[in-house]
Amino acid sequence: MPDTVTSQPRIFAYPAAAGMVIAVTGTFLPWFRSGEVLRDSYAAAALAHRFGIAGEPISGALARAWIGVPMLGALCAGLLVLGVFRTAAAATATLAVIVGTVAVAALVEAGGGVTGTTVSGPLVTTTGMTLALLGALGVLGTIRRGGRAVRRTGRAGVRP
């Protein structure tokens, strides 16, 4: 076992990174059904933007920015694995809340019929973002303030 307390965030960083990978994978699964055509979240966002369905300022900006989710997810996962814990955990938590909210909203709207939202893509994305958020919160909870490593001496903090 490593002799510093600062290795503890890694316990949560790897599940958070795995959650990001799972969530980004879920964005490429079917999210929208129109007849026999299944569309992923990016095609659905492009259609919403093109037809003016996402006309409000927040939803319009989200539809245009959705294409950046894989890049941001890869960046967050990479920073977590490389050990840039504070920045990675904050970015992961922010992305998890935003993308997870969209996925949960799509999951709530899922149902039968000829057109509508499918279950597979939003469900995988929600699961991944939940894992990523819990991991990011774990990383933030185990980081020591001041950034100094604390050695375990076994002598109640007495230095030789």
Query: Tens digits of per-residue pLDDT, 21-48?
Result: 999 999 999 988 888 888 898 988 887 7
Query: Tens digits of per-residue pLDDT, 65-118?
Result: 888 999 999 999 999 999 899 999 999 999 999 999 989 988 887 766 667 788
Of the chain, the percentage scoring pLDDT greater than 90 comes to 48
* Structural contact between residues 42 and 65, judged by C-beta atoms closer than 8 angstroms: no
Cα separation, 93 vs 47, whole angstroms: 28
Count Cβ atoms below 10 Å from residue 7 Cβ, excluding itself.
Answer: 13
What does residue 37 show for φ and ψ, rounded to 5 degrees? -95, 130
Name which of 57, 130, 61 is nearest 99 in CA terms: 130
State residue 108's pLDDT score.
86
